[in-house]
């Protein structure tokens, strides 16, 4: 079983009480495990072993494996919001707004946390956690639809149904997240560039 990254292990080897650093280490190690073996097969014992800590030490930061999965999902959603906070409002029209958002969404979905969001079914979560993450996903969907609706209104996008178009775009990005592998034949930058270009051609 591969160990956690040296950075993540170091977070627990140091005597510094940096809670954020240790939370990052748990999440980074767990998300790698989820992607490697699947959420159901992954265990907190394995996460702890990779970090060279005890399983009870993880409970100082997360109460359950499900809480860790939700936190991984949330990291992806937060990253999308952060990447579009400054650029999206400057868009000249709906098409440009959509390009900004689509590019940011694709970039995030091809990271470990994004791939986890795409690959692990949110139905794996109990209703309490599932309702929270579904609510965040709906916010992303509304942003897709808002850009498309703006583009239809200003003539920069040709689409008959904004809701369907948004579903198709998100689905295309999520499908890439299922086969993309960092360090593989195609770089993240190339995949994002080609994906955004081809998808916008259809609008």
Question: Is residue 95 domain-shared with residue 164, that is, in the same domain?
Answer: yes
Question: Is residue 94 domain-shared with residue 177, that is, in the same domain?
Answer: yes
Q: Using the predicted structure, report yes or no on whether residue 197 has a pLDDT greater than 70.
A: yes
47-64 pLDDT tens trace: 999 998 999 999 999 999
For residues 6-14, average pLDDT: 60
CA 76 to chain centre: 3
Q: Using the predicted structure, report yes or no on whether residue 6 has a pLDDT greater than 60.
A: no
164-188 pLDDT tens trace: 999 999 999 999 999 998 888 999 9
- Is 1 a domain residue? no
85-99 pLDDT tens trace: 766 678 899 999 999
Stated pTM of the model: 0.85
Provide the domain count of the chain: 2
Q: CA-CA distance, 40 to 8, in Å (whole number)?
A: 23
Two tokens, residue 49: 């072993």
Question: Is residue 96 domain-shared with residue 122, that is, in the same domain?
Answer: yes
Question: Is residue 186 domain-shared with residue 89, that is, in the same domain?
Answer: yes
Question: Is residue 196 domain-shared with residue 121, that is, in the same domain?
Answer: yes
Between the alpha carbon of residue 93 and those of residues 15, 96, 146, 196, the distances in Å are 52, 5, 11, 16
Evaluate whether 26 touches 68 at the Cβ level (below 8 Å). yes
**Which residue range(s) make up the domain with 15?**
6-62
Q: Using the predicted structure, report yes or no on whether residue 7 has a pLDDT greater than 60.
A: no
Residue 24: give its domain's CATH number.
Answer: 1.10.10.60
Q: Which residue from 193, 141, 146, 150 is spatially nearest to 171, judged by alpha carbons?
A: 141
């Amino acid at each position: 079983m591969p160990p956690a990254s040296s950075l993540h292990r170091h977070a627990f080897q140091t005597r510094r009480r940096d809670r954020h650093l240790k939370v990052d280490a748990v999440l980074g190690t767990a998300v790698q495990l989820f992607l490697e073996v699947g959420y159901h097969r992954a265990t907190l014992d394995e996460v702890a072993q990779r970090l060279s800590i005890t399983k009870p030490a993880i409970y100082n930061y997360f109460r359950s494996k499900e809480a860790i999965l939700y936190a991984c999902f949330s990291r992806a959603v937060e990253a999308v919001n952060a990447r579009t906070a400054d650029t999206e409002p400057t868009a000249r029209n709906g098409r440009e707004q959509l390009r900004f958002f689509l590019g940011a969404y694709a970039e995030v979905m091809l990271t470990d946390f994004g791939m986890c969001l795409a690959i692990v079914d949110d139905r794996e979560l109990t209703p309490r956690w599932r309702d929270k993450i579904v609510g965040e996903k709906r916010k992303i969907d509304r942003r897709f639809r808002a850009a498309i609706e703006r583009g239809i209104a200003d003539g920069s996008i040709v689409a008959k149904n904004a809701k369907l178009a948004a579903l198709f775009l998100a689905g295309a990005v999520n499908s890439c997240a299922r086969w993309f592998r960092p360090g593989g034949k195609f770089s993240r930058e190339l995949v994002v560039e080609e994906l955004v270009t081809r998808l916008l051609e259809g609008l």
